[in-house]
Amino acid sequence: MAYRLTGHAHDADECLQDVFLSALKVSRREPVRNWPALLKRSAANWAIDRLRRRARHAGRDCGSGELLAELSATTPRPDQVAQAHELSDRLRIALGQLPKRQARVFCLCCIEGWPHSQTADALGLETSHVTVLLHRSRKRLRELLAPAITGQGQAEVS
């Protein structure tokens, strides 16, 4: 998850170090009921924080990165690959501009594919609150990504 969000192996490695240190601290304070949820939530948090820091320090340059999702089962044309990389970079930048809770909910539900109930449990929220945060994050991402989508039809942020 950290690599998919940051798009850089070095940043993902740094995030993982932070994830395991924070998980160790949590486990010393209280028993951990769900280790996978704790680790994924923490990875999303650290990766989003790293995206924000990178955006602050480097302006809008967030690196080339990997695609967040596969484009299709067929081999894409070079222009499609370049376009997908650009959209992926813009998505990373936009995620860094969302409020933390919205970014976390979007990452867990839309990138990791978690159901709303599992996301709610992992973040300590009500399922209805997850639904609201997801709606707000999608709306804001559509606004932030609209310039990148111009000429390609309506932005589809699932």
Model confidence at 149, in pLDDT bands (50, 70, 90)? low
Percent of the chain with pLDDT over 90: 16
Give a yes or no: residue 154 inside a domain: no
Give a yes or no: residue 157 inside a domain: no
Average pLDDT, the chain: 77
Summarised one tens digit per residue, pLDDT across range 84-138 is 677 777 888 888 889 989 998 998 898 888 899 999 988 899 999 999 999 999 9
The total number of structural domains in the chain stands at 1
Q: Out of 22-36, 45-59, 71-85, 119-133, which region has the weakest mean confidence (pLDDT)?
A: 71-85
Model confidence at 32, in pLDDT bands (50, 70, 90)? confident
Give a yes or no: residue 156 inside a domain: no
Give a yes or no: residue 100 inside a domain: yes
Summarised one tens digit per residue, pLDDT across range 103-115 is 989 988 988 888 9
**Cβ count near 145 (within 10 Å):** 18
Long-range contacts of 30-34 (CB under 8 A, 24+ apart): 34/121, 34/122
- Give 103: exposed, middle or buried? Use CB within 10 Å, 0-12, 13-18, 19+: buried
The pTM for the full model equals 0.53
**What domain range is 135 assigned to?**
2-65+76-149
CATH of the domain at 139: 1.10.10.10
Give a yes or no: residue 158 inside a domain: no
